Structure 1
Amino acid sequence: MTHGYRPEIIQSAFVDFIGARLNPFWSLTVPKLRLMSRVALSEDLIALQFETNHAFKKQVFDLQQGWAGGQHINISVPIDGIHHQRRYSLVGLAKEQLLYEQTDNDNNAEKSPTVTIAIKPQGLVSDYLTKHAALGAIFNSGMPSGDFTLAQAAKQANLSTLNPTLNKQSSLLFIAGGSGITPMLGLIMQALQSGQNVTLLHYNRMPLLTTYWANLAKKYATFTYHLIHTEDPSTYLANSRYLSAQVLLSLELPLADTQIFACGSQTFLAELYRVVDEIELASDPLSINKTADTPSLRDNIMIERFGTALPDFISSNEIAEVEPKSISLRTRQRQFTTSTTLLLGAEQAGLKLPYGCRQGICQMCRCHKISGVVKNIQTGKMSTDGLESIQTCIHVAMTDVILDI
């Protein structure tokens, strides 16, 4: 008898259908998370811990051996009958202890691997998860993904003439603003475990995770951290409240050979790009007189895509300077005028358009542009004047535009 394709006698989908009616958390194929606990890490940052179901454990922990530091996960959150998709950074590594102690109620903590995210209670979905979702609530999830990782940084470094290699001798600099610290936790732990030299620079309105960082510095001699409390001058570097060229130079790192990981708001990341443009990586490392023929420190920067801020992205101030343009929704026979993104402009006009992450990641806001020129606020790329598929959350109108909505 030949051994080849063997059809399933009972389809997995049918088993899931029956099983979900007995226990909604059970599934052979669909990764699911069950909310176990909430812990306030600061006034505006809440850690959420989830238990994982069989499908998640099989697909993520067994087959993929967890996830890489810096990756994120997509969670489907039903609110008032509507499923909203959001991506959140995973805190820590798959088999590392969490940032807080387990409570007595966490009876399954040893038996079931957990997933932790840390989010700010703002926006519809994040506010719901941090304040209103009941403990025990179940959510469908995606697989951990994302290229904000050490492996991707090594790949990027090998393609760079400025920093041709990323090894244990390389310096790693992590720069975070506010809640941008969350993907750094797993990245830093992974880097330290591999023996690399790590420096953390975190700007926040108040010190965050001070005990955690202090313990990490005691354990790893290769770890240095600076927590910049923006309201406390005693924490400033180079007498500067904000990120500057002088601050980066004061770290005394070999910047030309330093891989930089950055995460924060678009404004924060845009400022980082402006700062590194002031630093010359020529023969004198302390010079901040940039010339056109010197290598660029931009080549060493990797950013978390939640706060996508490429070197040519448009800041919110620049968006505000765009003259209002007329936007026509052909199918709905509606029209409005806006100088901001198409999605935000529609909402300000009282019109509801499809959306998901609002950051150009999930593609849920994608639609067809019939005519007109739009500009991508992340890349600065201009569209053509004809039929084209665009995302309303990251495009501004440069001429009058007609959308097939």
Structure 2
Amino acid sequence: MANGYRPEIIQRAFVDFIGSRLHPFWSLTTPKLRLIARYTLSDDLIALRFETNKAFKQQVSEVKNGWQGGQYLDLRVCIDGVYYQRSYSIVGFAHQPLWWLDDTTESHTADQRHTVTIAIKPQGLVSDYLTKQMPLASVVDTSLPLGQFTLEQTSILRHEISDSKQPSPLLFIAGGSGITPMLGLITQALSNGHQVTLLHYSRTVSSKLQHQWQQLNDTNPDFIYHLIHTEDPTTYLAGKKYLSAESLLSLNLPLADTQIFACGSPALLTGLYKAAAEITCSTNKQLRDNIVVENFGNALANVDISSNQTFNKTIPVEEHTVYLRSRQRQFSSDTTILVAAENANVRLAYGCRQGICQLCRCNKVSGVVKNIQTGKVSGDGYESIQTCINIAMTDLVLDV
């Protein structure tokens, strides 16, 4: 027989089927995680550590450096016979010790290369189940690490700074549970020699989390943190309860050369873009060009961040009709398409509801939509859109 194609005598899918019947953790092709420990990071933030199966290890090893700080996993969880998919931030990055866990917790897993840890804020059906009810040793299906909210975003800026070849200063701004992707980003940034400043806005005070940031500050002179409790004026920056231009300027950072990572509610990101518009850089570049964002929630931001409009104008959202061509149904929309559909008792596919996981993506046949994260206005023809982060600017026809 000539060299070339060699059919598999035993198909991998068949091996997976038999293996899953012997043990749910075994698979040659499907990444799976097995829960081995839970840790409390703060009063409202729980870390879950999982052992990874062979398929996860092999497929991650094919990616340079495994995964990056700031990435996330899509977990597929079965609760009462119904499967749910949710996205959760990875804590730390591949092959890096978890600095916020003490020696006793580290001893639970001798080989960290074969584990992955995520952070969860209990605030919903799936999150509550994972943090409070799912038994240890339970197995869940998972994606490989996903997301572009990583330090690789700083590569362009690093080459623009100066001839000093020093890593660029980094500013991390988080609101509430938006701190979760920052945990891995900060760890990786410090190991790469960046000067790191953290602003964390929160309605609650966590002495445990504050202690952990202070420990990191004590051991890393390049790390500075500010925890702003929105109900405690003594913690405000420049006397401002929320993020403002004065808050940013009070940090005494070279803002024109600082890469800014922000994760939080639309209100936080709105404040950041507004503050950036009010700050004049010494160079010709605009401060907003240094901002990389990841957001959560479904509320519309109260400013338009598109390049052709001013920052202080509200987004005009009029009511339009959305037609679902395949189902022969329609509903009115004056918010995101996904929320409008749910308000009309129309079920559409969704996952993270943050514009990350892509599960809500569908094809638009005609009409114009606007992305609430970027401010980008679409064309009026056929294209793929995400219903969780787009609003209807005209009547729409969706191929759903």
What interval of TM-score do these two structures reach, taking the shorter chain for normalisation?
Answer: 0.7 to 0.9
Q: In structure 2, what is the equivalent of residue 53 of structure 1?
A: 53
CA contact (8 A) 1:36 1:106 kept: no
How high is the TM-score relative to the length of structure 2? 0.86
Q: In structure 2, what is the equivalent of residue 356 of structure 1?
A: 351
Q: In structure 2, what is the equivalent of residue 197 of structure 1?
A: 195
- The reply on whether 1:272 has 2:272 as its aligned counterpart is yes
Distance 1:233 1:79 in 2: 43
Distance 1:13 1:165 in 2: 54
Aligned length: 390
CA contact (8 A) 2:201 2:228 kept: yes
Distance 1:188 1:230 in 2: 23
Match of 2:377 among 366, 372, 382: 382
| Aligned partner of residue 136 in structure 1, secondary structure | coil
What percentage of aligned pairs have identical amino acids? 58
Q: In structure 2, what is the equivalent of residue 230 of structure 1?
A: 230
What are the superposed Cα offsets for residues 7-40 of structure 1, whole Å, 9 maximum, x if unpaired?
A: 4443322221111110000112211111223333
Q: In structure 1, what is the equivalent of residue 242 of structure 2?
A: 242
Distance 2:217 2:239 in 1: 24
Q: How many Å apart are 1:104 and its aligned residue?
A: 8.2
What are the superposed Cα offsets for residues 140-174 of structure 1, whole Å, 9 maximum, x if unpaired?
A: 1111132222223113554xx6x478953532111
Q: In structure 1, what is the equivalent of residue 136 of structure 2?
A: 135
CA contact (8 A) 1:92 1:186 kept: yes
Which has the larger displacement, 349-358 or 166-175?
A: 166-175
Distance 1:327 1:5 in 2: 49
| Aligned partner of residue 267 in structure 2, secondary structure | helix
| Aligned partner of residue 277 in structure 1, secondary structure | helix
Distance 2:106 2:227 in 1: 33
What are the superposed Cα offsets for residues 359-379 of structure 1, whole Å, 9 maximum, x if unpaired?
A: 223332233334433322223
CA contact (8 A) 2:305 2:375 kept: no
CA contact (8 A) 2:47 2:120 kept: yes
- The reply on whether 1:301 has 2:274 as its aligned counterpart is no
Which has the larger displacement, 106-115 or 27-36?
A: 106-115
CA contact (8 A) 2:95 2:112 kept: no
Distance 2:213 2:335 in 1: 40
Q: How many Å apart are 1:297 and its aligned residue?
A: 0.9
1:163-202 alignment runs, 5 A limit:
163=161, 167-202=165-200
Q: How many Å apart are 1:86 and its aligned residue?
A: 2.4
Letter in 1 for 2:179: I
Letter in 1 for 2:337: L
Distance 2:69 2:234 in 1: 31
1:261-340 alignment runs, 5 A limit:
261-282=261-282, 294-304=284-294, 311-312=305-306, 318=314, 322-340=317-335
Q: In structure 1, what is the equivalent of residue 120 of structure 2?
A: 119
What are the superposed Cα offsets for residues 171-201 of structure 1, whole Å, 9 maximum, x if unpaired?
A: 2111111111111122212221222211111
Distance 1:392 1:330 in 2: 15
Q: In structure 2, what is the equivalent of residue 146 of structure 1?
A: 147
Distance 2:226 2:23 in 1: 47
CA contact (8 A) 2:87 2:351 kept: no
Q: In structure 2, what is the equivalent of residue 287 of structure 1?
A: none
Distance 1:215 1:104 in 2: 17
Distance 1:295 1:386 in 2: 34
Distance 1:166 1:211 in 2: 34
Letter in 2 for 1:197: Q
CA contact (8 A) 1:178 1:205 kept: yes
CA contact (8 A) 1:70 1:187 kept: yes
Distance 1:72 1:394 in 2: 19
Query: 1:277 and 1:346, CA in 2 relative to 1: closer, same or farther beyond 3 A?
Result: same
CA contact (8 A) 1:280 1:295 kept: no
CA contact (8 A) 1:312 1:378 kept: no
Letter in 2 for 1:129: L
How high is the TM-score relative to the length of structure 1? 0.85
CA contact (8 A) 2:76 2:85 kept: yes
Q: How many Å apart are 1:215 and its aligned residue?
A: 1.4
Query: 1:304 and 1:368, CA in 2 relative to 1: closer, same or farther beyond 3 A?
Result: closer
Q: How many Å apart are 1:326 and its aligned residue?
A: 2.4
Distance 1:403 1:195 in 2: 48
CA contact (8 A) 2:264 2:295 kept: no
Query: 1:331 and 1:11, CA in 2 relative to 1: closer, same or farther beyond 3 A?
Result: closer
| Aligned partner of residue 352 in structure 2, secondary structure | coil
CA contact (8 A) 2:322 2:396 kept: yes
CA contact (8 A) 1:36 1:50 kept: yes
RMSD (Å), alpha carbons: 3.2
Q: In structure 2, what is the equivalent of residue 344 of structure 1?
A: 339
| Aligned partner of residue 41 in structure 1, secondary structure | strand
1:47-126 alignment runs, 5 A limit:
47-60=47-60, 64-98=64-98, 99-101=100-102, 108-110=109-111, 113-126=114-127
Which has the larger displacement, 109-118 or 172-181?
A: 109-118
Q: In structure 1, what is the equivalent of residue 361 of structure 2?
A: 366
Distance 1:38 1:400 in 2: 47
CA contact (8 A) 1:259 1:301 kept: yes
Distance 1:93 1:190 in 2: 7
Structure 1 unaligned regions, length at least 5:
284-293
Q: How many Å apart are 1:118 and its aligned residue?
A: 1.1
Which has the larger displacement, 324-333 or 21-30?
A: 324-333
CA contact (8 A) 1:52 1:112 kept: no
